[in-house]
Chain A
Amino acid sequence: MIFRISRSCFSSISVKLPPFKVHHLELDQLPQTATTTSAELLAYYKSMQLQRRMEIACDNLYKQRLIRGFLHLADGQESIYEGLHAGLTFDDCVITAYRDHCIALLRGDTPHQIIAEMMAKQTGSTKGKGGSMHYYKKATNFYGGHGIVGAQIPLGTGLAFAQKYLKKPNVTLIMFGDGAANQGQLYEAANMAQLWHLPAIYFIENNLFGMGTSIDRASANTKFYTRGDVIPGIQIDGNNVFQVRETLKFAKKHCLEKGPIFIEAMTYRYHGHSMSDPGVTYRTREEVQQQRKTRDCINYVKNIILENKVADEHQLEEIDNTAQNEIDIAVEQAKVDPVPPSTELATDVYVDNQNHFIRGILYKDSILPKSQ
């Protein structure tokens, strides 16, 4: 990665952004540089390390069978989540698919809540009823957490419609992957968004593979930022937290003034699609290692920190250890938490939940409905 750093006397650091690719937009509308400060750099570094450590911890827990079911890790893509956190506010809605742990973290859940949820404990973010794919947070407008590919896209478009209808100065970030970009529902939703000028950001996390299928074997047009047809689009380097941040700021302004926009963030996931995918049958180990060496999003920030002498290796190591510690404590706590009681099987099905007879594992432990 080539960047030029210049330090101003107010200890703010200027970072040159990688080139953009645009569709139905002018390049000069987009910023060439981003400014940051020492404090901000360290904050990004710490947050991304926390995300990375959390994902690795989940990998370990899965292998120990303490997390079961389906687990989709996002290590390698942390800068996207950090960038969206920096570029948008908690009043902007976010909706995504199942690679959602880091967004949950940035939208206000603690590592303990997140890990507990994956372990299906009642202290988890969604009472232990959702699991790895279903994180939500009403207070920070995080609308989840969805299992069916592409289903969140029209849903997010609805959120954007509501924001416009209620005249809110906010946007909805609708996140999905390169695989989901071939779902028909995306085009139905995007058409509505453009027709009605909705403040919807269609954000494609292009990590080059939809499970094990490379983008060229799944998509006739792999320039995902152009897939919105008449909707403007931008392609960015998703592993550059500053570019993600600045693009989202631009996108927000665009959405509130004009209508929807497509953003394609090029990125890479180190793990396979999920824990049942080793991730090396459709790409080589060398490719994964190469990505780690040359395009890692945390190393990018680390290099800026070291180059600008914001901190030294030793201080960064301390931050790493603090992050690791935080995750370790969360894991230990989650391990001893209880699973949700059996009554939770039949709650939240309806709003005025119908009372069911819930048979316990042993008949004598059954729960009788109130009406009986």
Chain B
Amino acid sequence: MQLLRKVYRFGSTKHRFASDIKSTNRQKMNLFQAINNALDIELGANPKALLFGEDVKFGGVFRCSQGLNEKYGTDRVFNTPLCEQGIGAFGIGLASVGYTAIAEIQFGDYIFPAFDQIVNEAAKFRYRSGDQFNCGSLTIRSTWGAVGHGALYHSQSPEAYFAHTPGLKVVVPRDPIQAKGLLLASIRDKNPVIFFEPKALYRNAEDEVPLDDYELELSKAEVVQQGKHITLIGYGTQIRVLKEAAKLAEKDGVSCEIIDLQTIYPYDGQTLVDSVKKTGRCIISHEAPQTCGMGAELSAYIQERCFLHLEAPIKRVTGYDTPFPLVHEPIYLPDKFKIYEAIKQSVNY
């Protein structure tokens, strides 16, 4: 069993970008270790923080809660039965009396039994009670996205369903450093947040993650790569794909600006608009199906504000409008070739 990293509790520092963090106190971690570290920090600093979900106690099926039950005890880190609706609703109840409820839904594909609770109860609590009550200290963590062999029910990206619900916040990190900062910010944000963790990156993404208690601002997008000719917008695992596509385009002399949305809703529209006004072209890419995906929303928002700056229509390179397939996953996913193709079409418009 891995030893838990030493936790620094000097109080949290808030940053706009991960690059602002000057700490030299870092450790190589992958995504699940970074999440684990964030949870450890919160459970340590906040005696009212509780972590619960299916199989959370032994460490979680993706090892995100490894060692936490041993450290904080079963009255703070515990298992629930197999009942997503129960988990969601239970979390709302806990949050409404002031506990910091961190509920885990094992796969994003399973979040739907809890959909009513999240959309109707959690999102509207503050509004319908005239601010007498709220469940702001609720954070729902769930796994997200394609993993290579997940098929229909272990690969979905359900962010769009929740982005359509005012009252909620939806966050998707791209890397361990962002994940830790965004998760801590999400937990401490006084609104219910759904935090989707790209499962494909749990082991594959590694970085030197600061050991401090730090938060990264929500509702702020980050320009991951500066560019001149076209803006590529994405989030989560897709940022890596965008970077690959940008490399292909670079050989043709096209310089791509890549933006990580980070907070899906409420999103940082200003950063997107500033970028597209500069480049004049835009591609939005995500694994979720095309119709009514985040690409649709962002396209509408950007064209409304950048119409006279656009040199080409905004393109969306996304999953097809089909259920997430079994063996056809490589064809379904918006890979670097499809994005490269879209870049070419946009630049040559």
Which residues does A use to contact B, with CB under 8 Å? 68-70, 120, 128-131, 133-134, 147-150, 179-180, 182-185, 210-213, 217-219, 276, 281-282, 339-340, 342, 344-346, 349, 356, 358-361, 363
Contacts and interface: CB of A to CB of B under 8 A. Distances in A.
Contacts, number: 100
A344 B86 CA distance: 37
Contact of A358 (B86, B320, B326, B327): B320
A218 B151 CA distance: 28
B55 A213 contact: yes
Contact of A360 (B61, B82, B150, B331): B331
B332 A70 contact: no
Given A129-B326, A147-B154, A212-B55, 4 more contacts: A70-B151, A148-B110, A213-B55, A281-B58
The residue among B79, B85, B152 with the most chain A CB atoms within 10 A of its own CB is B152
Instruction: Name the residue in B152, B153, B327, B330 with the highest tally of chain A Cβ atoms < 10 Å from its Cβ.
Output: B327
Contacts of A69: 149-151, 154, 326
A283 to B, nearest CB: 13
A148 B322 contact: no
A125 to B, nearest CB: 13
A180 B82 contact: yes
A interface, over-half SS: loop
Nearest to A276: B61
B113 A183 contact: yes
Interface residues of B, number: 35
A185 B115 CA distance: 14
Contacts of B327: 120, 128-129, 339-340
B87 to A, nearest CB: 11
8 closest A-B pairs by CB: A120-B327, A147-B153, A182-B81, A68-B149, A345-B328, A69-B149, A179-B82, A218-B81
30 contacts: A69-B149, A69-B151, A70-B151, A120-B327, A128-B326, A129-B326, A129-B327, A133-B151, A148-B113, A148-B153, A180-B82, A183-B82, A210-B82, A211-B55, A213-B55, A213-B82, A217-B79, A218-B79, A218-B81, A281-B58, A282-B58, A345-B320, A345-B332, A346-B320, A349-B323, A356-B321, A356-B322, A359-B338, A361-B330, A363-B337
A129 B326 CA distance: 6
A344 B338 CA distance: 19
Interface string B93-108: 0000000000000000
B192 to A, nearest CB: 21
B151 A184 contact: no
B61 to A, nearest CB: 8
